[in-house]
């Protein structure tokens, strides 16, 4: 029989529970800030693309930096930030190869392997994201005062969030995956 602590159904309090609760609270607030930032980037991209289409269609002109900022800075930013949120909420792609009747220890082992792989991916994103930021010394062509490394800023942040979430999942910590739902769905209501 699999010990109760191996069951993934409920998170088990451990030594250092206060540390994990504090870490989860901080991580949830960072996820909330990144979700708001990703939404702002998406909204800004919508405005930029719409303005550029209107200018090209009606005035046969456009602003050269609009498209470049949209596709090179905003899109990678909201894509990677949204990816980190998707990993937190366990919305990433799953392949269920093991049937439901498999022994619980196999499911437990595969879940731990999944979290290890996610932590590794997060660490790789942090490492190579920082490497990209440090090693690109160019500027954005149409806006020379902006560094080209700006387009990679969200990569290490997303990697850090993914690695931290995976680490907490490996420890069996309840990450309060409904935190973002409570904040966004409660906005403007009594609990806003």
pLDDT tens digits for range 55-109: 988 988 878 788 888 888 899 999 999 999 888 888 877 667 776 777 888 888 8
Residue 126 falls inside a structural domain: yes
Residue 150 falls inside a structural domain: yes
Residue 128 falls inside a structural domain: yes
Residue 192 falls inside a structural domain: no
How far is C-alpha 184 from the chain's CA centre? 16
Give the residue numbers spanning the domain of 37.
Answer: 16-185
pLDDT the model gives residue 4: 45
Residue 92 falls inside a structural domain: yes
pLDDT the model gives residue 156: 96
Rounded (10°) CA dihedral 140, 141, 145, 147: 20
DSSP the chain: ---GGG-SSSPPP-TTHHHHHHHHHHHHHHHHHHHHHHHHHHHHHHHHHHHHHHHHHHHS---HHHHHHIIIIIHHHHHHHHHHHHHHTT-S-----S-TTS-HHHHHHHHHHHHHHHHHHHHHHHHHHHHHHHH---EETTEEEEEGGGGGTHHHHHHHHHHHHHHHHHTT----TTHHHHHHHTTTSS--
Ranges in the chain, pLDDT < 50? 1-13, 191-192
Residue 105 falls inside a structural domain: yes
- CB within 8 A of 46, min separation 6: which ones? none
Please tell me the total count of domains within the chain: 1
Residue 5 falls inside a structural domain: no
Residue 10 falls inside a structural domain: no
- CB within 8 A of 164, min separation 6: which ones? 23, 27, 122
């Amino acid at each position: 029989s699999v010990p109760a602590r191996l069951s993934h159904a409920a998170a088990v309090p451990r030594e250092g529970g206060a540390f994990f609760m504090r870490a989860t609270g901080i991580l949830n607030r960072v996820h909330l800030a990144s979700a708001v930032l990703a939404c702002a980037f998406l909204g800004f991209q919508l405005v930029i693309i719409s303005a550029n289409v209107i200018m090209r269609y009606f005035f046969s002109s456009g602003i050269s930096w609009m498209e470049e900022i949209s596709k090179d800075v905003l899109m990678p930013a909201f894509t990677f930030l949204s990816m980190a949120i998707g990993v937190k909420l366990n919305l990433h792609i799953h392949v269920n190869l093991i049937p439901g009747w498999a022994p619980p220890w196999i499911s437990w082992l595969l879940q731990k392997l999944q979290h290890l792989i996610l932590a590794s991916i997060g660490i790789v994103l942090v490492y190579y994201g920082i490497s990209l930021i440090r090693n690109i010394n160019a500027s954005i062509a149409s806006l020379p005062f902006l560094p080209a490394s700006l387009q990679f800023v969200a990569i290490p942040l997303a990697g850090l969030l993914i690695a931290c979430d995976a680490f907490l999942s490996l420890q069996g910590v309840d990450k309060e995956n409904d935190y973002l739902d409570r904040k966004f769905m409660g906005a403007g209501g009594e609990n806003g």
